[in-house]
Structure 1
């Protein structure tokens, strides 16, 4: 599913399904104890799977669909949400009642170094982790008593330098995404009923994307286009926005969820293809059963018969002009 995603594997998956862009299953990778997040390498040759019950991250060759390496993260660490930047694979984990951020140094050929507790003990469970590799920014989100704890960091050479931190009156978190330039983080949480946008420099809230009931997934394309997923029975399931716009370019409804939750977007399974020509999500019955890959073709084009949305607000246009170029690609 594009370059990454946390939610490409459902919470209690014992097997990874491999499909083509039409959703046809072309292979499987079995015997993986509770996959909790996938991350695709930049060259698409390796996919990393966090094995929460296996206390390890495995590397899978995308050509052979065989495990090529296994990186233990320590007994009882329950790793989740892998995120790759250059030669460092970041991940969230949990030991007892505390979470943390760990990393795996992939620059060497043998016995990669695994480091834990890089941000100090995090309150709550394993934090969601996302990186903007070219911008050198990492962000995390975790459930705390007061809502959601969000933190941003600068990354360099496998190290983290704190940038900003705050508790947000929202929750629980379901997904996060960074803009390619690392300037904004978009948070999907079950409330409030919108995708919130924060500056990474100080975590001040800038704006939000109106997506209705229970935001559950988010991904940002290399050009900044935002895909936002919601768990709703009465509204669309996936929205596509230009950066900063409150009017969606496109909205998708995969059929109304029944009382058993059928056709619900699985949290946080939403991912762009690198060329923006396809957008992917996974729907299911809410119990990680009856899963189906939904393929959205040409998602940045308005639906036939609908007018194109207005251009992005002037504030965002000026911001891009000041930067002197389009946002960096991931």
Structure 2
């Protein structure tokens, strides 16, 4: 039997050695039951949290920052990946069953735009890059590719087949908050996986910069996150049993790793890029780990359920993590102490 949700201690190095922040000083994690079994993604705009139901559902659940359900967005055709604009005023939703991406106002929950991506595209993964909304798409094996919505153009022009690479499944794009000229794209559902970094031109054209070496990665890439500058990409894959980091300009060798004890399946940087949250699909033991990017352990959490792939999101202020498991949203309070490397 798995343990109930538990916040373990934060570890901070002080003059007297290791100082352990008492668990009682932290608010308890909160668990909210969701109306669907297999949530696909979660994002936080600050006062609101959005959880998508997945390809077999028609709903996005909206909660407040504490995890209380306050609204739903209904009538959607299989909502999967979610992405927020940098100002957190627009929520983008991938609708693979509708061959479209929808945009909603995060305060009014009103549909503000809908972007058809073309028949037979099935857009499934999103990454917001300021002017461009990138999407990984593909309905059949080896039909995966990368597309973009040019949000600065009249009528938001959509383009597809941008990399010239055939991906086994919809590829995973990742962008940097403060650098709109770099894009990471990961090949999923293969062992070993492959990652690519691209330079983004003024018109949105992609030029390949680097590619991973099979000996430096692991199996089955689940998630990836770029630091705000775009210089480093962090990855979560079934093997090794640690999150990895790579320099985007030279992806051939892995850098610092972050031990999780089991295969990571989710990874997310806090908005400032100082802390890294890593999720694991471990059947026993902690499911969510928080590290300073320098490698110091900050906190770990046991959810009591299996974390969904890619199912982590930071609150904009960095005080909470949101994690989705089977039919559940977990609100995890993160220790405020500064760790080495943060």
* TM-score normalised over the length of structure 1: 0.82
Deviation at 1:277, TM superposition (A): 1.5
Corresponding residue number in structure 2 for 1:264: 306
Matched, 1:161 2:207: yes
What are the equivalent positions in structure 2 for 1:242-281 lying under 5 Å apart?
Answer: 242-245=292-295, 247-255=296-304, 263-281=305-323
Contact 1:3 1:41 in 2 (8 A): no
Deviation at 1:172, TM superposition (A): 1.1
Deviations 1:142-187 (A, max 9, x none): 1375510100112243232211112434221111011112111111
Corresponding residue number in structure 2 for 1:67: 111
Contact 1:39 1:49 in 2 (8 A): yes
Matched, 1:283 2:319: no
Classify 1:20/1:105 alpha carbon distance in 2 versus 1 (closer, same or farther; 3 Å): same
Deviation at 1:39, TM superposition (A): 0.6
- Tell me how far apart the structure 2 counterparts of residues 153 and 116 of structure 1 sit (CA, whole Å): 15
- Tell me how far apart the structure 2 counterparts of residues 102 and 283 of structure 1 sit (CA, whole Å): 29
Deviation at 1:244, TM superposition (A): 2.7
5+ residue gaps in structure 2? Answer: 1-42
Which of the numbers 264, 268, 284 marks the counterpart of 1:219? 268
- Tell me how far apart the structure 1 counterparts of residues 163 and 45 of structure 2 sit (CA, whole Å): 25
Which of the numbers 225, 228, 240 marks the counterpart of 2:290? 240
- Tell me how far apart the structure 1 counterparts of residues 77 and 283 of structure 2 sit (CA, whole Å): 32
Which of the numbers 173, 184, 197 marks the counterpart of 2:245? 197
- Tell me how far apart the structure 2 counterparts of residues 3 and 83 of structure 1 sit (CA, whole Å): 15
Deviations 1:119-148 (A, max 9, x none): 113331110111004223211111375510
Corresponding residue number in structure 2 for 1:35: 79
Corresponding residue number in structure 2 for 1:185: 233
Matched, 1:21 2:70: no
- Tell me how far apart the structure 2 counterparts of residues 214 and 145 of structure 1 sit (CA, whole Å): 15
Deviation at 1:222, TM superposition (A): 2.6
Contact 1:171 1:191 in 2 (8 A): yes
- Tell me how far apart the structure 2 counterparts of residues 234 and 146 of structure 1 sit (CA, whole Å): 24
Deviation at 1:91, TM superposition (A): 0.6
Which of the numbers 278, 292, 312 marks the counterpart of 2:328? 292
Moved runs in structure 1, 4+ residues, more than 6 A? Answer: none
Matched residue SS, 1:143: coil
Corresponding residue number in structure 2 for 1:56: 100
Deviation at 1:71, TM superposition (A): 0.4
- Tell me how far apart the structure 2 counterparts of residues 8 and 156 of structure 1 sit (CA, whole Å): 33
Matched residue SS, 1:152: strand
Deviation at 1:251, TM superposition (A): 0.5
Deviation at 1:221, TM superposition (A): 1.3
Contact 1:52 1:77 in 2 (8 A): yes
Classify 1:293/1:162 alpha carbon distance in 2 versus 1 (closer, same or farther; 3 Å): same
Higher relative contact order (CA 8 A, sep 6+): 2
Deviation at 1:266, TM superposition (A): 1.1
- Tell me how far apart the structure 1 counterparts of residues 106 and 224 of structure 2 sit (CA, whole Å): 25
Classify 1:79/1:16 alpha carbon distance in 2 versus 1 (closer, same or farther; 3 Å): same
* TM-score normalised over the length of structure 2: 0.79
Contact 2:291 2:297 in 1 (8 A): yes
Bigger Cα displacement from structure 2, 178-187 vs 94-103: 94-103
Corresponding residue number in structure 2 for 1:106: 151
Contact 1:146 1:167 in 2 (8 A): no
Matched residue SS, 1:48: strand
Classify 1:264/1:300 alpha carbon distance in 2 versus 1 (closer, same or farther; 3 Å): farther
- Tell me how far apart the structure 2 counterparts of residues 253 and 58 of structure 1 sit (CA, whole Å): 34
The total of aligned residue pairs comes to: 289
Corresponding residue number in structure 2 for 1:206: 255
Deviations 1:88-112 (A, max 9, x none): 100101153221110001113x421
